[in-house]
Chain A
Amino acid sequence: MKNLLIAATALATLASAPAFAQTLANPAATAGPAQNGTVTYAGRVNAFCSAVTPTTALIQLGDLSNATGAFVPGAVNGAGGAYGATITCNGANTSLAMTANQITNPLVSLDANALAAGFTNTIDYTATLAKVGSTSYVQNPVSPTAILSDATGGSGASRVVGLVRSNISLTLSGAALASGNTLVAGNYSGTTTFTLTPGV
């Protein structure tokens, strides 16, 4: 009977033991890495200039001589005018070229003797393109109003002006006879051309 009691006690002890051994740790959840991708977009903006209008303009100089036949520089100097439309160029390498051509009387042909006697049919001058208005913008030059000048008799002038959003004026100055001291009578004409070439 004593043995039976010992056996029962041992069994009771065994029966209560397994409750301590059955709990498993709960593993922590971790999020996976973020996934990302990038698309790049590329495009081009072409260099372009709006039209210069008018494409041709006539400046009347009037009488180039006084009552005694002497040349009057004031008839040429200061002549010019502004172009009505704003010119826009969006290229940082836009170039401006201009060529001032002498004012001449093409119908007169002077020989060496006439030239030696002081007659001429040619007038030199300087043409200048400039910004018009305080809000006009030309990238280069930044601060001067004048953009580019060309004196007749040369091969023309040019520069990179870059971005342009401006009205432009043309003004003549520095008029002088090419030689001699007396203009041959007749009709005189000259031209100044300028060209804007877009550049990136």
Chain B
Amino acid sequence: MKSHLFFAATASALLISSAAFAQAPINMNGNISPNCTVLTLAPTSVDLGTISDPTAPGALDASKVNGATASVTPSITCNGGGTTLSIDADPLQGPTLPTNATGSGFSNLVNYTATINKVATGFVQNMPAGISNSTTAAGASSGTVGLIASTFSVNLSGAAAAGILIAGGYSGSVTITLTPG
């Protein structure tokens, strides 16, 4: 009788051990949140100098605007396949125009196109060409670029005055936004 009971208990213990591994798996679930490292632009302000042509009143010397460069540095890292990159350029704007001056051909706006490009050695999952935004566009330009491990450059091009530029100080801006996703 004792030997039967021992056998039964031993068999049952084996059954218990077997059932515990087969019917109670521990599910290890988790997520990696999409994130981007801090974006830093340098320089944050660019002095274009005198942008007017010295040979004609209110004419733009486009070469003073085209080619202006800033950099997103150090390297940005984004780990989300749905990361979006947007660029929004605002025109260079000068002093307020007096009444009726616009109708006579004067302007206080210099339009241009801003483009953000990754550096040649950088990695961006989906960015075959730079993303550009014209200051004449209604809003920002953006794209889903995915994973990023790269620095970027921001360049201005295609500068054009909207008329005879009135004298004074002009300022504009370009804003870059990375949204993890």
Point out residues on A near B: beta carbons under 8 Å.
1, 3-4, 7-8, 11-12, 14-16, 18-19, 21-50, 88-92, 135, 137, 139, 142, 162-163, 165, 198-200
Contacts and interface: CB of A to CB of B under 8 A. Distances in A.
A127 B137 CA distance: 50
Main SS class of interface, B: mixed
Given A40-B171, A48-B56, A31 B50 contact: no
A186 to B, nearest CB: 43
Contacts of B60: 45
Contact of B176 (A14, A22, A37): A37
Contact of B178 (A36, A41, A45): A36
> Number of contact residues on B: which range applies?
35 or more
Nearest to B35: A32
B171 A32 contact: no
Interface string B62-91: 001100101010001000100000000000
Of the candidates B49, B51, B65, the one having the most CB atoms from chain A within 10 angstroms of its own CB is B51
A141 to B, nearest CB: 12
Contact of B94 (A21, A26, A45, A89): A45
Contacts of A26: 29-31
Contact of A139 (B1, B24, B48, B101): B101
B8 A29 contact: no
Nearest to B29: A26
24 contacts: A4-B8, A12-B12, A22-B25, A22-B26, A25-B29, A27-B29, A31-B35, A32-B180, A34-B178, A37-B39, A38-B41, A38-B176, A41-B48, A41-B65, A42-B47, A45-B50, A45-B51, A46-B167, A48-B58, A89-B57, A137-B103, A163-B98, A163-B166, A198-B167
